Homo-oligomer: A and B are copies of this chain.
Amino acid sequence: MSNEQALEQYDVKKYRTPDGYTSDIAIFTIISTHTEAFKPPSMDLKIMLIQRSMVDSEGRPNIEAGKWALPGGFVDPNETAFQSAIRELREETGVDHIHLEHFGVYDKPGRDPRGWIISNAHYAIVPEHQLAGRQANDDASAVELFSVKDVLELDLAFDHEGIIKDAISIIQQKLLSTTVAREFLPEHFTYSELQAVLLTVTNDSAIASDASFARKIKSLPFIQEISGQKTTRTSKKPTQLYRFVDAEVNNTIYHAKK
């Protein structure tokens, strides 16, 4: 029996269907603070939020007006939520080709006053300089970066407080358990630059200690020394540069790392 026959008799209206399908994006960046010559960076993990306009593009009062929210929007019928997130990120901030990952579905009844609306949440990692040209568009009256330390004190739209909480804990965990830290760094980086990224989410002594971390970076299987390449951007003494290489990282709790 063919699907064609079955489809002819299929009633697409048999089940009640959602009123909307959206995509939200937690855009993370790391801002270097205290940038001076010959100093290693000190970094702060930030998340980008928009402030919802008081009126929508057609001049009518907006839902959750004035509150801070994750950027996002409705998924088109010819794309996946993931593609929609890529598109919205491009429209919203003008950045492209960056690390984007799905991390959760938010579909609790009542989460959106407009109806049964399902949202897929993603996180994106955008290097600091790429957010330079960001600006508010139709839907948003402001775009701003907030340190993850105090973003939860804002008045947040919908159920975005929960989504943001989840996003922060995901990125903190991913930074230490995967190599996403590379997305925050230039292609070639020093041990102290990687260290600064990791210190935004941990204060483990093995990472915080210069001597330990400088030694450790040489034994990490997914990081490679670039022989002969040095920089003086972080210190007066020329510093070795490293790069990430693709190497599978096995991460089991039942035995030591290799």
Contact = CB atoms under 8 A, between A and B. Distances in A.
A61 B178 contact: no
A163 to B, nearest CB: 14
Interface string A4-15: 011101101001
Interface string A28-71: 00000000000000000000000000100000111111100000
Q: How large is the interface on A (under 10, 10 to 19, 20 to 34, 35 or more residues)?
A: 35 or more
A200 interface: no
A202 B255 CA distance: 12
B179 A253 contact: yes
Contact of A220 (B20, B251, B254): B254
Contacts of A9: 60-61
A117 to B, nearest CB: 9
Contacts of A256: 256-257
A193 to B, nearest CB: 14
30 contacts: A1-B54, A1-B65, A3-B65, A6-B60, A6-B65, A9-B60, A9-B61, A10-B63, A12-B114, A12-B115, A16-B77, A17-B17, A17-B18, A17-B19, A17-B21, A18-B21, A77-B109, A77-B116, A79-B109, A81-B118, A177-B253, A178-B253, A198-B254, A202-B252, A206-B254, A207-B254, A220-B254, A249-B253, A251-B251, A256-B257
